[in-house]
Amino acid sequence: MESNVTHAVTRWIVMLAVLAGSSTCYAEDHLSILVAGDLMQHMPQIKAARKPGGSYNYDECFAAVRDEVERADVAIANFETTLAGPPYSGYPQFSAPDDFLRGVVGAGFDVLLTANNHCVDTRRKGLVRTLEMMDSMGVAHLGTYRDSEERERHYPFLLEKNGLRVVLLNFTYDTNGIPVPSPCVVNMLDTAEIAADLRKAREMEPDVIIALPHWGVEYQTMPSKEQKELAQWMLANGVNHIVGGHPHVAQPIELSADGRNLVAWSMGNLVSNQSKPNTYGGYMVRLDLEKRDSVTCLTDCCYTLYWVSRPPDNGYRHQHRILPIDYPDSLLTATEQRQRSAIRTSMRRLMKEHGKGNIRENL
């Protein structure tokens, strides 16, 4: 096992990679943050990504989203699998090839969320190895830790870029009943713990605090009573914006009347093999922050709807591909065209009828 000193040096390298990333540069004191939904790996996805000779490649999966991800100053997503090494497995206990992470990093994601209900699917080996692979590939992460000392050093997560200081928080409602293996730590949805984290966050003198919770009820397109109560509590205790995940379907976005607080209840899946209604799509949300006279404002907010084109069950003519909802594609079958039409109608109706505030769809 690596020493604590080695971990600290590695994480400094990770932060430098985020701060010096190749994304579009804006004027000082302006920062664009893109947040995407669940990155999942069911066995049909793993099989579709396998190449002759036994290697895996996910370039095709992310090809249509790479430009949007790379345009943001910072791109964040929920990494909802583990990297425990072979043999690989899908639901209910996920373990994906390392090449899936390479595809995610290659698509331009800078920060990955690891506190979710599948983070200890492969117990301590999977949790620790996932963090080791993220460190080795230079991608920042938050939510799970090798031990309490590592959490103390690196959480809350402070991002400094373009003259802004942004604190990120990530926590999960559960780990599917699997005990967190000692000495590992998983950030849990516990208000006493979150309150302590917020006190520490405020000592960092951030311009913005963004909470990224793993919460809600699976397959429900509207936020639960518990989500609403927790959101009110977080906003009252210093959180500025909330962008959530876990339900595997899109839930609406709400912007407060004064434009100061945004809540995206659930982004849905970015990529998966799920086929229940509304699970084969979701959205990315982009927050544009600007600091004026020491006051940081949300100057713009937009979202982009996506869906997943899946290979047929009887053969893999292509990978699972994340496509913009109106993306023209001659490869789509008649069934896929109907699926895309259905989820496009559903998500746009959801945003129109239940979204609040001046939030636009990025067409």
Mean per-residue pLDDT, 199-205: 98
Q: What is the pTM of this model?
A: 0.91
Q: What domains, with CATH codes, occur in the chain?
A: 4-361 (3.60.21.10)
pLDDT at position 14, please? 39
pLDDT at position 315, please? 56
pLDDT at position 273, please? 95
Residue 41 tokens read as: 């790996």
Q: What's the pLDDT band for 7 if we cut at 50, 70, 90? A: very low
Give 113-122 pLDDT, tens digit per residue.
999 999 999 9
Lowest-confidence segment of 77-91, 165-179, 238-252, 302-316 by average pLDDT: 302-316
Q: Measure the CA angle with vertex 130, ends 243 and 141; round to 5°.
A: 35
pLDDT at position 28, please? 74
pLDDT at position 316, please? 55
Question: What strands, in cross-sheet order, belong to the sheet with 157-161?
Answer: 157-161, 164-172, 208-214, 241-243, 262-267, 250-255
Of the candidates 138, 165, 170, 137, the one whose C-alpha atom is nearest the C-alpha of residue 151 is: 170
Mean per-residue pLDDT, 12-36: 60
In contact, 288 and 295? CB cutoff 8 Å: no
In contact, 124 and 179? CB cutoff 8 Å: no
Q: Rounded distance, CA 184 to CA 128, Å? A: 8
